Chains A and B, each alone.
Chain A
Amino acid sequence: MGRKLLTEHINVEGIDTFEVYRKHGGYRSVEKALKTMTPDEVVEEVKKSGLRGRGGAGFPTGMKWSFLAKPEGVPRYLVCNADESEPGTFKDRQLMSKLPHLLIEGMITSSYALGANTSYIYIRGELLYVLRILEKAIAEAYANGFLGKNILGSGYDLDLHVHPGGGAYICGEETALLESLEGKRGNPRNKPPFPAVQGLYARPTVVNNVESIAAIPVIVNMTGDEYAKIGVGRSTGTKLISACGHLNKPGIYEIELGVPVEEFIYSDEYCGGIWKGRELKAVVAGGSSVPILPKELILKTAAGENRLMTYESLSDGGFITGTMLGSGGFIAMDETTCIVRNTWNFSRFYHHESCGQCSPCREGTGWLEKVLHRLEYGHGHMEDIDLLVSVAKQIEGNTICPLGEAAAWPVAAAVRHFRDEFEWHVKHPQEATRPGAVYPGKAVLA
């Protein structure tokens, strides 16, 4: 069993209260940072740790922090992105509802490192009960002198606010999040300027994922060098994986990066294999927007090496034979899953969630969904399969924000790896649209 850095005390009774959390070593990083370290030293520790953004893109957090513009006399902001809405990803919700003080501790330490005196947690609107947990925890932190003026007598002030979103997936994109936080329509901004230069209220801003911020206290406590020893290569530390789908034991697992995918799926320590004794068919490894991979390619890379749960190993082979670790939303599908229906379902989500600002995404996501719907319900033609690839290509890379790519990748990957199943839907529409129909497989058809 790997080490648990974030979720070590997650099952302790009353850990969401200040006293119990403090008793289990909580807020030590705030004391250490504020009393013995300068802000730059904290940033340096985070850089050394090699922590990579846990929200999906995997950009090194320390590097992101060092890009923050620091003009004199201008306030800076830290914003925590808690707008977790990617289908398949549900790690932050659990972390925040069980360990609200861990996030608050991370926010204090990180804000100190960045020199921010006002920080925000932008939480997904649907998670109102978590918002209440966080607000209660923040009130406790204020009462105990960890938030407010002159924290622990260090002269450092910090105000922390929680702000709920209005229920749009797009507000998880950092610039759309900032727009929404400012009270405007959540449309992503054009970049440049990047948030590190002009973010919230046109001030320098850092936006970090909940899990990234929750890892900061751990790094400060154990030092960056120690943290960097966990994991493989440039994928350091631990990562929360929210496993769902046709698994015996779906749930949230904290893994040390570097666990083989095969072990993660089949060992009893983690997901315990595929349910009902069935075969694994495909895996979406990092939330619905990353490319889907068939069993052969998710367990082993194209070169025949074991695939590990790391940023590098999962993306081995690029998008031809690889995928991404993304935000850690691990969706496993058994042999009875219809890939066409699944792809249609994903597309329907992106069609619904596109903000409608830029034309390729606004029109393209709807187009993809309609073509997939046609294929799934037995009205497709052979040309439609190539049409899907072509439309996906027209969206990818030409949009303001990454939602366009998130909509295009799963479709392109599904066609790339499961073209025969799409063709089966076209050739045998009656068979394919029968309720409970299962694709018999290439071998059977041949």
Chain B
Amino acid sequence: MAKITFDGVEVEVPDGTTILNAARKIGGSIVPPAMCYYTPLQGSGGKCRACLVRVAAGSAKDPRPMPKLVASCVTPVQDGMVVENTTSEQVLNVRKGIVEMLLINHPLDCPVCDQAGECDLQNFAFEHGVSTTRYQEERRTFEKIDIGPLIQLHMTRCILCYRCVYTANQITDNRVHGVLGRGDAAEIGTYIENVIDNDFSGNVIDVCPVGALTDKTWRFKQRVWFTKPVNAHRDCSHEKCPGRVVLWYKGKDVLRVTARKDQYGEVKEFICNECRFEKKETADWVIEGPAHIDRSSVISANHYELPVLNQQVIADLPESSVRDLEQNPPMKLGN
């Protein structure tokens, strides 16, 4: 076991645990963001640099600080390690820089992107970035490629986290896509135009942190925050598929089916394509009940009473609203 201090909080974890997972054991707002690391996928992590933290003391034996910021998702803890995340100005500044880098070539087409509302990059930029850009050049674009009838690839939105590559390697039977090219011309693609067709290929949609890989059967159907997620299961004939999913309802219609995710957006159990793409009737499923929605999620917006309003900011609020506010005083931030 190793005892580490993360942002002033002590936590004890087994040897070999990564700094990120130690922080997740503490939980809360001190957990570094992760755009490429994905617990179920072996070898993932270290690429996006969103989770960089400062190691103020390497270990009890060698308490020197590490010279550079380290990627917390791939760096194992040492006994006596002292890590700074939100308490380090340097880390927060570097993270702003990472947001900027990830966004300079991102099309920012959130208004027409199906991922909007459940996009890791959106959340990351909102929480850690700045709202302006210093980039004036043309954003890079790619030739569109078709990877089959089920999955839509938008290469311009990709942040090259490699998650879908690891998924194809580790979850499906064979991988036909990968990263081609290098530098900022690197792209996800199939070397010779090829259809990604495999019983578990749909999982690349769930692991994609951005809108680069989306579900063609759900494309442009509805904004995610207008749908209701409901846990459900069925007896899936596929031996590797647990059949436990989330159905996304709009009214009575099941608009899409996804795997269940934990609070860090990581898939708990990978599901097969039959469950994902073909079973879109309530009759196919045994409904368990509403899926948990994180309070901070955009999906929950407006689902909770009492809007948080700041009267000073909105100077000329319509009279009806002012009256409403007096009768129902808004929740104060911080309470």
A residues at B contact (CB < 8 Å):
168, 170, 185, 190, 192, 351-360, 362-367, 370-371, 374, 387, 390, 393-394, 397-400
Contact = CB atoms under 8 A, between A and B. Distances in A.
A319 to B, nearest CB: 14
Contacts of B134: 387, 390
B76 A192 contact: yes
B320 to A, nearest CB: 46
Contacts of A400: 46-47, 71
A86 B102 CA distance: 27
Contact of A394 (B97, B160, B182): B97
Contacts of A170: 182
A399 B101 CA distance: 12
A362 B46 contact: no
9 contacts: A168-B182, A190-B46, A353-B183, A358-B49, A359-B159, A360-B98, A360-B101, A393-B97, A400-B71
Contacts of B2: none
Contacts of B137: 367, 370-371, 374
A362 B184 contact: yes
B75 A363 contact: no
Interface in B119-175: 134-135, 137, 140, 159-160, 162
A359 B101 contact: yes
Nearest 5 pairs between A and B by C-beta?
A356-B186, A394-B97, A190-B46, A354-B183, A363-B101
Contact of B47 (A357, A364, A366, A367): A357
A374 B138 CA distance: 12
A49 B94 CA distance: 41
Contacts of A190: 45-46, 71, 74-75
B105 interface: yes
A364 B98 CA distance: 10
Nearest to A354: B183
A189 B237 CA distance: 39
Contacts of B182: 168, 170, 353-356
Given A390-B134, A394-B97, 11 more contacts: A190-B71, A192-B75, A354-B182, A356-B184, A359-B47, A362-B186, A387-B134, A393-B97, A398-B49, A398-B68, A400-B47
B309 interface: no
A359 B49 contact: yes
Interface string B26-52: 000000000000000000011111101
B318 interface: no
Contact of B181 (A351, A356, A394, A399): A356
B74 A394 contact: no
Nearest to B94: A398
A366 B184 contact: yes
Nearest to B102: A359
Contact of A363 (B52, B102, B181): B102
A351 B49 contact: no
B73 to A, nearest CB: 9
A8 to B, nearest CB: 39
Nearest to B76: A192
B317 to A, nearest CB: 38
A48 to B, nearest CB: 26
Contacts of B50: 359
